[in-house]
Amino acid sequence: MWQLLLPTTLLLLVSAGMQAEDLPKAVVSLEPQWNRVLEKDNVTLKCQGTSLPEDNSTQWFHNGKLVSSQDSSYFIASVRVKDSGEYRCQTLLSTRSDPVQLEVHNGWLLLQASQWMYKEGDCIHLRCHSWKNTPLHKVTYLQNGKGKKYFHQNSDFYIPKATAKDSGSYFCRGLLGSKNVSSESVNITIIQ
């Protein structure tokens, strides 16, 4: 990586007495936040790492392979199942990030969660996401097979303060037109 550094950057680093191991680790975040998405969703990956303005130095890796985007935001329009996997980024002045896992699913409905493991007292945020955001109504969120929350019009479901009792297997279902559809189940775990 050092041979790629611009002379001015190198000077800056040397004068600051910086070593490669002093560089911070880049961080990948997703926008929107969901790490499970449906085909045709739009996903933006953002790389937070120190970079010089306009240096176009961001490198993106999908399953370890360098992808062409050099922008600090990597926009994937209309994701496909093949876009699933591990994403990492790196910038001129940061080391390679930890991976972020993206899962692209095929189906009518997908239960999304802001996290899969929560601490007691955290706010659980669930979303019953329909393919291409097709209007969904008479929506039920179920925990361990029992209805937990009903919405006439599809809405996100928030549990403001998670307790151990909120651990379990969740799915959602509702009507797409007159079609009764269900998501797959996912496990949510509350740790103490």
Ligand X SMILES: *[C@@H]1O[C@H](CO)[C@@H](O)[C@H](O)[C@H]1NC(C)=O
Q: Which residues contact 146 (CB under 8 A, 6 or more apart)?
A: none
SS (H, E, C) the chain: CHHHCCHHHHHHHHHCCCCHHHCCECEEEEECCCCEEECCCCEEEEEECCCCCCCCCCEEEECCEEECCCCCEEEECCCCHHHCEEEEEECCCCECCCCEEEEEECCCEEEEECCCEEECCCCEEEEEEEHHHCCCEEEEEEECCEEEEEEEECCCEEECCCCHHHCEEEEEEEEECCEEEECCCEEEEEEC
In the complex, minimum distance from the CB of residue 21 to ligand X, in angstroms, rounded to a whole number = 26
In the complex, minimum distance from the CB of residue 17 to ligand X, in angstroms, rounded to a whole number = 26
In the complex, minimum distance from the CB of residue 102 to ligand X, in angstroms, rounded to a whole number = 15
Of 16-24, 54-62, 103-111, 113-121, which segment contacts ligand X by CB under 6 A?
54-62
Residue 22 or 189 with smaller CB distance to ligand X: 189
Number of residues that bind ligand X (CB under 6 A): 17
In the complex, minimum distance from the CB of residue 96 to ligand X, in angstroms, rounded to a whole number = 21
Distance CA(111)–CA(130), nearest Å, equals: 9
Residue 103 or 120 with smaller CB distance to ligand X: 103
In the complex, minimum distance from the CB of residue 180 to ligand X, in angstroms, rounded to a whole number = 4
Residue 132 binds ligand X, judged by CB under 6 A = yes
**Interaction with ligand X in 73-102: which residues (CB under 6 A)?**
77
In the complex, minimum distance from the CB of residue 108 to ligand X, in angstroms, rounded to a whole number = 13
Residue 119 or 138 with smaller CB distance to ligand X: 138
Task: Please state whether beta strands 43-48 and 157-159 pair in parallel, antiparallel, or not at all (unpaired).
Answer: unpaired
Q: Which residue from 29, 42, 63, 73 is in contact with ligand X, where contact means CB under 6 A?
A: 42
Residue 166 binds ligand X, judged by CB under 6 A = no
Residue 169 binds ligand X, judged by CB under 6 A = yes
Residue 133 binds ligand X, judged by CB under 6 A = yes
